[in-house]
Structure 1
């Protein structure tokens, strides 16, 4: 048996029967007068592909630890957040024997490249999703700022020009723009790590039936304030 995770909150409920990992080749073959030679280069980015079942029924073989009662729509929300975030995440596969002995574990920084959703009425109410991941390698230019310290000495500070999504503050009300979904609004205002956990709360707070369908200009309340005994807002409930 094995357990599979896409980021910190998405555990694949029913691991796939098969998974294909492709190690990309970047070697370059050059033809010379006396024959061909092969220029050896570092391997390319690893590509991973598998197909998963997202259940709308309870199954005894559901291995989810994080969300045993989760249904397909919740997992599809998480996939959209992973895709819309344009941020890498950890793809983790833990392989174990039936007796619980650890065999090996993969832990790769990845991006969600593509996913395809299939429905088949003959198969019941479940969804099947083909997922393609690609290995992610850190990169980014550095911005250098030259300044003087308190003693008049020249100092240089560097900062990466590549940033990740995440916001310390979140407005109480957000107006939906054309093309917005509740998933993208939560992503923009909470950041990827908190978007999924806040999505069902915002959905319930605004009584939204279909998170993927919002009217342009629709006002979305992002949180409700907690009122203390004196009637004064004393914090935020997420």
Structure 2
């Protein structure tokens, strides 16, 4: 079986012989009176990945060089940037059979948690780097601005929350008709009430509300 390991867009020159992927969980076991232990199932945790990779100082016929031979210093600089840039990157492992048939791949957004560099006389001039990666999931925070009341000696500050709760049916001023649409369903989805189709038909000067066509722009307000 053939493997190719990518850190961001850079393939490792020598494929690691072993990789350990720990699929973590966040389940919690608690003890209920008279019922014993129960397990509370929660969303899966972040996957952790560990492997060792040889970084050669010399060119080997079995090594992978995407843009020509690069010595160990090039890879060390690249790996260090992954560590200090404080940005996630893609970790990809592709797998093919000896006959060249694609099997499956691993493609995760990760952060470089730790790495260590080993220099061993048995490896000659080559380096061995141990990697610890952790799956990365993006997130966002909500920001709110507090409205300040006006006083006799100050001006009113009219501000609203910068991240307002949204409804499942946001209002729209216009809508472009898609294949399979009906005016009733459009009104139900975007105005919250399908029976408004007569009002919208009148607004758009439609003589027959049942005859709308893909690409037609419908005014909703």
TM bucket normalised to smaller: 0.5 to 0.7
| Runs of 4+ deviating beyond 2 Å | 142-145, 154-158
Structure 1: runs of 5 or more not aligned:
146-153, 159-238
List per-residue Cα deviations over 1:63-104 (Å, max 9, x = no partner).
23x234111110000010000001000111110112221000
Q: Are the equivalent residues in 1 in contact too, given 2:144–2:160 (CA < 8 A)?
A: no
- The alignment covers a number of residue pairs equal to 149
**Is the Cα contact below 8 Å between 1:91 and 1:106 reproduced in 2?**
yes
For structure 2, the residue ranges without an aligned partner over 5 or more in a row are 146-158, 164-221
- 1:107-155 deviation line (CA, Å, top 9, x unaligned): 100000000000012321000000000000011224579xxxxxxxx99
1:32, distance to aligned residue in structure 2 (A): 1.4
Please say if 1:41 is aligned against 2:42: yes
Aligned counterpart, 2:121: 121
Q: 1:156 to 1:39 in 2, by over 3 A?
A: closer
Aligned to 1:84: 84
Q: Secondary structure at the match of 1:70?
A: coil
**Paired residue for 2:59?**
58
Task: Name the TM-score, length of structure 2 as normaliser.
Answer: 0.63
Q: In structure 2, what is the equivalent of residue 13 of structure 1?
A: 13
CA contact (8 A) 2:143 2:161 kept: no
RMSD of equivalent CA atoms = 2.0
Q: Counterpart of 1:150?
A: none
TM-score (norm 1): 0.58
Counterpart residue number, 1:107: 107
Where is the strand percentage greater, Structure 1 or Structure 2? 1
Bigger Rg, structure 1 or 2: 2
Tell me, yes or no, if the aligned pair for 1:21 and 1:47 is still in contact at 8 Å.
Answer: yes
- Aligned partner of residue 43 in structure 1, secondary structure: coil
Partners in 2 of 1:26 and 1:45 — Cα distance? 9
d(CA) in 2 for partners of 1:82, 1:132: 12
Matches within 5 A, 1:141-220: 141-143=141-143
Separation (CA, whole Å) in 1 of partners of 2:88 and 2:69: 27
